[in-house]
């Protein structure tokens, strides 16, 4: 029997807070999605001014990062060599999604949409960093 970690709603909100702070500081109007390890939505937020399709794109990026256990940028690179992989169902191989790895287990994914793809990824990484710092402090105490 194995124990598994799972992402809580409070932790998803913490990740979104880290993403929002970074995006607001850069004046980017984006949408942020956090999903569990199966790619199911836990939290979604569309900031003021974010384009209408950005929540859907953020959810797909988050889901792709979680179920593939890799940043979506890596999958974007694969598509360049193997274009048919872009047609895999339920995936969006576009930069801006990162998996959430905790103690070696993928427990979810973060997807961001609304800025340039490399900026979306920076926002997602800021949220991941906020989550990791919070967990480092709570486990050190």
Number of Cβ within a 10 Å radius of residue 42: 20
Q: Which of 133, 73, 107, 97 is nearest to 3 (CA)?
A: 107
CA dist 122 and 11 (Å) reads 19
Q: What are the chain's domains?
A: 9-136 (3.30.450.150)
State pTM to two decimals: 0.93
Cα separations in angstroms, 109 against 1, 25, 76, 82: 25, 22, 16, 24
pLDDT digit of tens for each residue in the chain (141 aa)?
Answer: 888 899 999 999 999 999 999 999 999 999 999 999 999 999 999 999 999 999 999 999 999 999 999 999 999 889 889 988 888 888 899 999 999 999 999 999 999 999 999 999 999 999 999 999 988 765 554
Q: Which of 134, 115, 135 is nearest to 123 (CA)?
A: 115
């Amino acid at each position: 029997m194995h124990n598994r970690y799972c992402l809580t709603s409070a932790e998803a909100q913490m990740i979104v807070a880290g993403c929002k702070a970074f995006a607001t500081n850069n004046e980017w109007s984006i949408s942020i999605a956090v999903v569990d390890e199966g790619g199911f939505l836990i939290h979604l937020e569309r900031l003021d001014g974010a384009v209408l399709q950005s929540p859907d794109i953020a959810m797909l990026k988050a889901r792709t990062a979680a179920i593939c256990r890799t940043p979506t940028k890596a999958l974007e690179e694969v598509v360049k060599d193997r274009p048919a992989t872009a047609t895999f169902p339920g995936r969006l191989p576009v930069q801006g999604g990162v998996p959430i790895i905790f103690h070696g287990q993928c427990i979810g994914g973060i997807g961001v949409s609304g800025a340039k793809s490399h900026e979306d990824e920076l926002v997602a990484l800021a949220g991941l960093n906020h989550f990791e710092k919070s967990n480092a402090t709570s486990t050190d105490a």
